[in-house]
Amino acid sequence: MRSGDPSKRTLGAMPPTVVVVGAGFGGLRIARALARAPVQVLLLDRNNYHLFQPLLYQIATAGLEAEQIAKPVRAILRGQRNLEFRMVDVTGADLAARRLETSGGPVPYDYLVLAPGGETNFFGLEGVQRHGLGLKDIPDAVSIRNHILTCFEQAMLEPDGERRRARLTFVVVGGGPTGVEMAGALSELIRLVLVKDYPRLNIKDVRVLLLEATDRLLAAMPEKLREAAGATLWRKHVDVRFGATVADYDGQSVRLKSGEVVPAHTLIWAAGARAASLSARLGLPTARQGRIAVTATLQVPDYPEISVIGDAAYLEIGGEPLPMVAPVAMQMADAVAANIRAAVQGTGRMAPFRYRDPGTLATIGRNAAVAHVWGLQFRGFLAWVMWLVVHIIQLIGFRNKLFVLLNWAWDYFVYERAARLITRS
């Protein structure tokens, strides 16, 4: 690291301060990894909770309650003595002076770890941004749930067949894991649960469409699993359309690039992510998707005391940018924690980041998932059980694990979704 390195402080001085921005998978992991390091950790987030994003689509489809997949940061890190948490927005920075500006005043740092995560990327489609529904945080997910259920209530009051079908047409855009899981869960919510709520509903009026611009779902998966996923969605009555690129949306109908128009009151946008808009506020240059280009050691060029991890970090490995997924964020957190420890203790050199891909899983509904792990391929019931186990293990907190498991068991056996409330504020 450059001269003026905090590791060169004299004995007896205050330990250096590591400021971590963001309490997602990466931020939380590095905050914990530094628990025994001779540093003060200051963790900042604009929310007071850590969110288990992979299950967000289950909030949106009334399967889980928000509190079950989120946990207050202060509760998670209660026992850690060298840590302080502040709920603030980061508004700017003076990087030369090593100081962040926040809604709670200035925050000086010796080391800065940026882990702000990602946000929905609408690719400049204003109509979609205004009328479509993203799925990145709890309010997003609750909005989708409220919206879907309201569409059904309103459809029951709609005498006109055309307009009723538009209210009951649900378009999910994006054939990645989020879009596939969302479309599958939505179709099951409708066909296993809502049909019982609406005995007068003609199920033929309901459509769930999954639009994908390319010719494949779950592009990161091997071909066999991609095909299995498509076949399962088809069995679950999800209408998958390939080569379908959205051009515009006005809240009433979706216009595709091909000129086709699909009347639909619901468009759920799962077609893109980009880094959270923090980088611009900090005056750091960005690469693709608003991400900040980092060195092989995850440092920002010219500012070696600043590291970036997770969705906001842009790093190519083997010519491909690393995907915006939780395992990348967590492994980066471990790497940066090791580098900071080495720097502070004056013992080590920065090690370049190496990513070990743990594989990918995607569930499509009851008893159905695809998994590509340890180089092996699984699908159907076995993959589904693997998905369940992996997600329960990764959820933070025994209480959350217990309640999610109970919820899943309940819904599995009685074909229910208990959280189907329309909570307007």
The answer to whether residue 181 is catalytic is: yes
* DSSP string for 116-180: --EEE--TT-HHHHHHSB--SSHHHHHHHHHHHHHHHHHHHT---HHHHHHHTEEEEE--SHHHH
Task: Check binding of 8 to its own copies (CB under 8 A).
Answer: no
Task: Check binding of 1 to its own copies (CB under 8 A).
Answer: no
Angle of helix 25-33 relative to helix 326-345, nearest 10 degrees, comes to 30
Closest CA to 248 of 123, 128, 121: 128
For its own copies, the closer of residues 62 and 218 by Cβ is 62
For its own copies, the closer of residues 154 and 360 by Cβ is 154
Region from 71-79, 164-172, 211-219, 239-247 binding its own copies, contact rule CB under 8 A = 71-79
Give the nearest distance from C-beta 13 to its own copies in angstroms: 22
Neighbours of 156 (CB within 10 A): 13
Task: Check binding of 307 to its own copies (CB under 8 A).
Answer: no
Site residues for its own copies, 85-144, by CB under 8 A, read 86-88, 104-105, 138-139, 142-143
For its own copies, the closer of residues 45 and 305 by Cβ is 45
Task: Check binding of 401 to its own copies (CB under 8 A).
Answer: no
Give the nearest distance from C-beta 343 to its own copies in angstroms: 28
* DSSP string for 340-385: HHHHHHT---PPPP------EEEEEETTEEEEEETTEEEEHHHHHH
Task: Check binding of 160 to its own copies (CB under 8 A).
Answer: no
Residue 369 has φ and ψ, to the nearest 5°, of -160, 170
Map residue 271 onto helix, strand or coil. Answer: coil
Task: Check binding of 48 to its own copies (CB under 8 A).
Answer: yes
Give the nearest distance from C-beta 139 to its own copies in angstroms: 4
Q: Which residues pair with 303 in a beta bridge?
A: 300
Task: Check binding of 203 to its own copies (CB under 8 A).
Answer: no
Single out the residue of 78, 224, 235, 288 in contact with its own copies (rule: CB under 8 A): 78
- Confirm if 183 and 171 have CB atoms less than 8 A apart: no
For its own copies, the closer of residues 75 and 296 by Cβ is 75
Give the nearest distance from C-beta 169 to its own copies in angstroms: 20
Q: Which of 119, 181, 188, 305 is catalytic?
A: 181
Long-range contacts of 279-288 (CB under 8 A, 24+ apart): 279/114, 279/312, 281/90, 281/91, 281/92, 281/93, 282/90, 282/92, 282/93, 282/95, 282/114, 283/92, 283/93, 283/95, 284/95, 286/314, 287/314, 288/314, 288/321
Task: Check binding of 392 to its own copies (CB under 8 A).
Answer: no
Single out the residue of 33, 113, 135, 149 in contact with its own copies (rule: CB under 8 A): 149
Catalytic center residues: 181
Binding site for its own copies (CB under 8 A): 47-49, 65-68, 70-72, 74-75, 78, 84, 86-88, 104-105, 138-139, 142-143, 149-150, 153-154, 156-157, 196-198, 200, 399-400, 402-403, 406, 410, 416, 418-425
